[in-house]
């Protein structure tokens, strides 16, 4: 009898079970048409191609097809080619990325920003690192937080408490149950994409400040859409300065790809948050930040 593991059989059985559970997904194949947002070609399983309208895109403003955005991408490629050529710690920081980070920090009225390959990775990396770096850290997480935040919090190994969605009284109760001298982070979103509701950011900051906690706000579904400069709900509500770290994506209203975290750089005598986050392995070991993204994203942000 052959005793080797039969990987094919294992995965076929997993897929069969997923189908039995009704959890097996199929995805339609769409080809976006530059300049005709939100139209796309649907390449059907029957080999037929049909023109469809996509109303569920996260490219909320069609910036991924805006002519100025596309032109900026072309310019960036013509000037510097594609790819970064390596990670920051091996072959230097990409000049366009530094410009983009400066612009993102300015957008959120923060001292510094760091870009990542996606919003998902920025949450995983930032929360995972912050929770791990501060001994005894406790993270308070909204019950409806995005999976990437949950994974980051898990990865940090920090003790965590889940507060009822948008419930500041519950948050206060939970925070009161933890020793005052333990470092605390309150992690939440501004616009919750599944229900479309918005967090009471000022009230959450009130509770966080009362307990001396840092605040970590995911503005993924708000940047580009809310606030006079498109910095999100915190800007709209005039509370950006009260939020310690703002995380967002370049892949939704900005129409491109990538994620970032913006926050305090602090004075030279204090630890710089940007440098702390630079210790994140997933940030340092990824070469996949595309140079063209900088051109696209910067153009999208300037309303190009
Ligand atoms: C709230 C929230 N945070 C983070 C992400 C991840 O962002 P990205 O698509 O850039 O990976 C998403 C993605 O949908 C999201 O909804």
Atom of ligand 1 nearest to the CA of 145: 1
Non-local (6+) Cβ contacts of 292 within 8 A are: 73, 76, 77, 82
Q: Is 19 a catalytic residue?
A: no
Atom 10 of ligand 1 has which residue's CA nearest to it?
A: 119
The tens place of each residue's pLDDT in the chain, 304 residues long, gives 568 889 999 999 999 999 999 999 999 999 999 999 999 999 999 999 999 999 999 999 999 999 999 999 999 999 999 988 888 888 888 899 999 999 999 999 999 999 999 999 999 999 999 999 999 999 999 999 999 999 999 999 999 999 999 999 999 999 999 999 999 999 999 999 889 999 999 999 999 999 999 999 999 999 999 999 999 999 999 999 999 999 999 999 999 999 999 998 753 333 445 555 544 444 444 444 443 445 555 566 655 4
Q: Give distance in angstroms: CA of 247 to centre of ligand 1.
A: 10
Atom 8 of ligand 1 has which residue's CA nearest to it?
A: 119
- Ligand 1, CB within 6 Å, residue ranges: 118-120, 123, 146, 148, 189, 193, 218, 220-221, 249, 251, 259
Atom of ligand 1 nearest to the CA of 192: 1
Rg of the Cα atoms in the chain:
21
Q: What is the pLDDT of residue 37?
A: 93
Q: Return the best residue to mutate from 193, 219, 223, 249 for the ligand 1 pocket (most ligand atoms within 8 A of CB).
A: 249
Q: Counting Cβ atoms within 10 Å, is residue 194 exposed (0-12), middle (13-18) or buried (19+)? A: exposed
d(CA 143, CA 260): 23
Q: Give distance in angstroms: CA of 252 to centre of ligand 1.
A: 8
Q: Give distance in angstroms: CA of 249 to centre of ligand 1.
A: 7
Q: Give distance in angstroms: CA of 7 to centre of ligand 1.
A: 32
Task: Kindly name the residue from 4, 19, 184, 252 that is annotated as catalytic.
Answer: 252
Q: Give distance in angstroms: CA of 220 to centre of ligand 1.
A: 6
pTM, two decimal places: 0.89
Atom of ligand 1 nearest to the CA of 259: 10
Q: Counting Cβ atoms within 10 Å, is residue 7 exposed (0-12), middle (13-18) or buried (19+)? A: exposed
Q: Return the best residue to mutate from 117, 153, 220 for the ligand 1 pocket (most ligand atoms within 8 A of CB).
A: 220
Please tell me the number of Cα atoms within 13 Å of 259 on its side-chain side. 23
Q: How far is CA 105 from CA 4, 20, 98, 234, 258, in A?
A: 54, 48, 11, 14, 15
Q: What is the pLDDT of residue 90?
A: 87
Atom of ligand 1 nearest to the CA of 258: 10
Q: Return the best residue to mutate from 64, 104, 115, 120 for the ligand 1 pocket (most ligand atoms within 8 A of CB).
A: 120
């Amino acid at each position: 009898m052959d005793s080797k593991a039969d990987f094919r059989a294992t995965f076929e059985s997993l897929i069969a079970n997923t189908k039995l559970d009704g959890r097996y997904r199929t995805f339609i194949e769409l080809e976006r048409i530059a300049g005709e947002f939100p139209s796309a070609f649907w390449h059907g399983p029957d080999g037929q191609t049909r023109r469809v309208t996509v109303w569920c895109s996260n490219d909320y403003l069609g910036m991924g097809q805006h002519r100025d955005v596309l032109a900026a991408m072309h310019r960036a490629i013509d000037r510097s080619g594609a790819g970064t050529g390596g990670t920051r710690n091996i072959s230097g920081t990409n000049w366009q990325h530094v410009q983009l980070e400066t612009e993102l920090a300015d957008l959120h009225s923060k001292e510094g920003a760091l870009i990542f390959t996606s919003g998902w990775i920025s949450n995983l990396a930032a929360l995972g690192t912050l929770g791990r770096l501060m001994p005894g850290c406790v993270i308070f997480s909204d019950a409806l937080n995005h999976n990437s935040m949950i994974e980051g919090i898990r990865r940090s190994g920090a003790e965590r408490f889940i507060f009822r969605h948008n419930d500041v009284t519950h948050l206060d109760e939970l925070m009161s149950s933890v020793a005052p001298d333990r470092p605390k982070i309150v992690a939440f979103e501004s616009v919750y994409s599944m229900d479309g509701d918005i967090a009471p950011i000022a009230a959450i900051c009130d509770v966080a400040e009362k307990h001396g906690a840092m605040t970590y706000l995911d503005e993924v579904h708000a940047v580009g859409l809310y606030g006079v400069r498109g910095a999100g709900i915190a800007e709209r509500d005039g509370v950006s300065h009260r939020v310690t770290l703002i995380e967002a994506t370049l892949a939704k209203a900005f129409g491109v790809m990538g994620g970032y975290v913006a926050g305090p750089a602090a004075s030279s005598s204090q630890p710089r948050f940007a440098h702390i986050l630079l210790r994140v392995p997933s940030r340092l070991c990824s070469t996949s930040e595309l140079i063209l993204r900088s051109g696209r994203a910067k153009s999208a942000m300037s309303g190009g």
